[in-house]
Every structure is written in structure tokens, then in C-alpha cells.
Chains A and B, each alone.
Chain A
Amino acid sequence: MAENGALLRVENLVKSFDGLRAVNNCTLEVRKGCLTGLIGPNGAGKTTLFNLITGFLKPTSGRIHFNGERIDGLPPHLTFRKGIVRTFQVPRELKSMTVLENLMLVPSDQAGERIWNPWLFGFRVSRQERQIYDKALQILEFVDLQHLRDEYASSLSSGQKKLLELARTLMCDPQLILLDEPGAGVNPALMKRLVERLELLCHELGITFFVIEHDMDLITRLCNPVIVMSNGEVIAEGSPEEIKGDERVLEAYLGGQYLAGT
């Protein structure tokens, strides 16, 4: 909340899949206006945590607060309404729709989404479509996909699909964007440009980011603070430098080898 600057607060969150505790008693905070990183070995429960925050999964127990409100258990479209958007780790583009319409789908409360409006108030729908179209073009330029705007999303390369996922989150005016490995498979030069722009979004518009990423360079450049998860638990939190020096983190990543080696 405002007093301590936490936009998102997760308390004692647990998610078990028949006995396996994918998220185990997680407590963490994401501060407003920050780019917070989330790292951890494969299977640490990072994606599961995102699914819980956005309502794609229901927590077994625990609480999630967003802007001081409880949001755990809300379905995805309602967490979206509260201002949280997410990308998928494996892109889930709408295959037989054009890139433009993948994006134009996103804005909420379009007049044309009520079936009587296209019948009765075409002019209103038309005006809104024009605005949304312009916005989608801007976003496409932002992620460098404008030349593919009228192609089916299924024809994009996997890196381009990741960019489309990112673009989707920018189509609304979110408060918190959860990015699940945005850098995987994206050309590093383009990623560098994107990182700069994400920072700009964060600083100028005050959008908060929570980013899962395995690429430590990217994390170091982009995120502060960084939260580390392992086996469903938060094991460390701090600036990238602190994290790199943290023994528990090295142990989590390298397992017994690290201890044995020293």
C-alpha cells in the first residue's frame, strides 16, 4: 500500500499440486514504480506464483493484496481489471487472428463488445476502433513488429511471438506488468532496446514490473531489487550485487556441488 510503497503483497502463499508444494509459504512485496526481478532454478515455482497472482490458479492458502485489496481467488479477467497483466512463458498467441487483432482485442470496455452496439451505434464502434487501431500500431512499432501487423499471428517466429506477448500487456493501461521470461529467444540487440524502453515506461508512467528471467545480465541491467525463489520458497531478496554474493542463492542454483567444491 501507499504507506510502505508496496503495490503487491503476497503473504504466506501456498499452492500444492497433489502433495507437491509448488509454492510454499511465499511472502514477498513488489514496490510501486520498481522493476522487481524474480529468479530461481527451473521448477522453483515462479510461473506458478504468477498464475496465482493473476488468478489463473487458486491458492491453497495465503493472501495476495494489490493496492491494499485482497485479490486472491479472483478470476483472471477481474485481476486484469484491477490493473495486473501478465505474459505467458510459452507464448499463447491467437493463431488465426492477425497480429493487429491480437492486440486490438485487449482494451477493456469496448463499445463494440456488446452485441447491440454494432447493430445500433456503428459510429461509436467505428470511432473507438480507430483509436484502438492507432494505439495498436504504436505498440507494434514499439516492439518492432509493425511490418507484420496484418499477418496471422501463427506465422510469427517464436521470438516475435514473445514480443507479441509483451505488446499485449502494453495495450491496456496496467499498474503492474508480470513478464514471464520476456528475453527468452529474443534477439539481444532488440532486447537491449526493449529494456531501455521498459525502463522508460517504468520511470515515466510509473508502471511497476515484476519480471521472471534466467538471463543474469538482463536481470542485473534491468531489475532492482531481485527476489530469489527455490523449491517454492523465497530464499533471498536484494540488489543484484547482493544476490550474486549470497551463499544460499549459489547453493540453490548449484546444489551440493557448490558446498562440496569449497
Chain B
Amino acid sequence: MTASVSFWRSAGLSLLILAIFLGAWEIAVMPKAGGGGAALDPEYAALLGQAAAQGGTTPMPGPSAIGKRLFELLADPFYVRGPNDQGIGVQIAYSLLRVGAGFGLAAIVAIPLGFVIGMSPLLNAALNPFIQVLRPVSPLAWMPLALYSIKDSAISAVFVIFICSIWPMLLNTAFGVASVRREWLNVARTLEAGRWRTAIRVILPAAAPTIVTGMRISIGIAWLVIVAAEMLVGGTGIGYWVWNQWNNLSIADIVIAILMIGLVGLALDRLLGLGARAVAWRE
């Protein structure tokens, strides 16, 4: 199935698809020659809110307009002019900070706990019902509870990230630890390696690829959830920024935000991909 294709051929095709897509988009949004006064769907007008109420229409920007706007935004991504006017770089940095804090805390809790669960069939069986019930809950469902008990929207967003990151790491760590080969454990036992040395030198490296896979899934979910969480709590972050641009009807900014979210998500995944490669082993 997956015969190897040359990089240049696939990259060329990718560029071609992109060019066709952007070209079609540009043509589609070009102002029509004899147009003017196209009747607006009333529902659509209602959705557009103030801008439509003022009689103005916001046309879908074409790639060239978006490109121009992207250039503007990236020319000074880190400016801060008051709480509601900060550069896109600053907003992404806020989001990354929240994801980093929530994900980091989750890793600190999930990996050691997963280790213990993986080593003890009793604990595994005892905690399994709780994990099974809590895991499928949308992390955003925790938001009201977090806001109520923490009373701080910024920390609540971090808490939501924490909750959504914890399950894949917990389950993968427990699974990885529980499925370490019996023969390696026997080697450690015959060497009288002791619990600590066995955990660090044998179980951890044996389970590391599975653990990192869990981390990779977690960070992907965290990055998905942060946008929604920031739309809810507001203030700062790329999610809030998207929502803000929607209120301003800056469609070009929204498209740019989507692109940026995608690129940052890709970068996060690649980062953990590097981690996965560092701990991989082959028999």
C-alpha cells in the first residue's frame, strides 16, 4: 500500500493542490461585475449582528486579502495596546502557557499514578470504574464546576486542560507499565535490582514509548480544547481572539487564526514526535 514516493513529487503535488484551492477561492470571492444589491438572507443578516444592522456587508476575503492581513499581523505579533488589543503572538503565547501548565500538571499527576496503577492489579481494578466514567466526559463540562470552585477564569481554563490531558497519559502509562515483559522483570529480580532501580532502569524505558504516545494524544486534545475553553472564559488567548474577531467581523483574522492554530498544533505534535523517537526501542 504505502510504496515510498519521492519527496519532491509529493511536495509538488501538495503545492499544486494549494494553488488550485487558493486560485478557486480568489475567483469565487471576486466582486461580481454587474452585481450590487444582492438580497441578503435575513437569517444570515441576523447572524452578522451589528455590521449587518448598520447596513454594511462583510464580504468573504480572498487569499490575497488574507495574505495582506497575515503580513500585517506578523509584522508586529507581540504588541500590547490595552487588554482588548494584543498581537496574535501574545494571544498564542497565552494559550500555549495555559496548555503547558495544564498539560504539565497532568503529566506530573498522571505518569506516577499510572505507574502505580500499572504495577498493582488491585489498584488498577479499584480505580478503573472511576476512570471509565470520568474519561468520556467532555472537558468543557467541568468548566462551570471549575469556575464555581476556583473562582478564577484563568485558572479554570488551566484546570480544564489538566482534566482533558490526564486520561490518555494515565491510561497509556498504566497500560505500558502493566505490559512490560515478564522476562525483563525476571532479569531485574535475579539481579536483585530492587524496586526503585527496576522502576527507573527497566519499567520506565520499557513503557516509555507507550507513555509518550499518551502524552502526544493528550497534547493534541489539550490544544483542541483550549480554543473552546478560551472562548468561554474570555480575556486572553487565541480562542478568545477568534471570538473577538468574530464580534468585529474580521473574517480574514479568523481564517488566519485557524491557520495559526493548525500550525501550532502541528508543531506541538512534532515536538512530542521527537520525544517519541528519542525513547523508541526496537527488538
Decide whether A and B assemble into one complex.
no
Please list the residues of chain B having a beta carbon within 8 angstroms of any beta carbon in chain A.
none
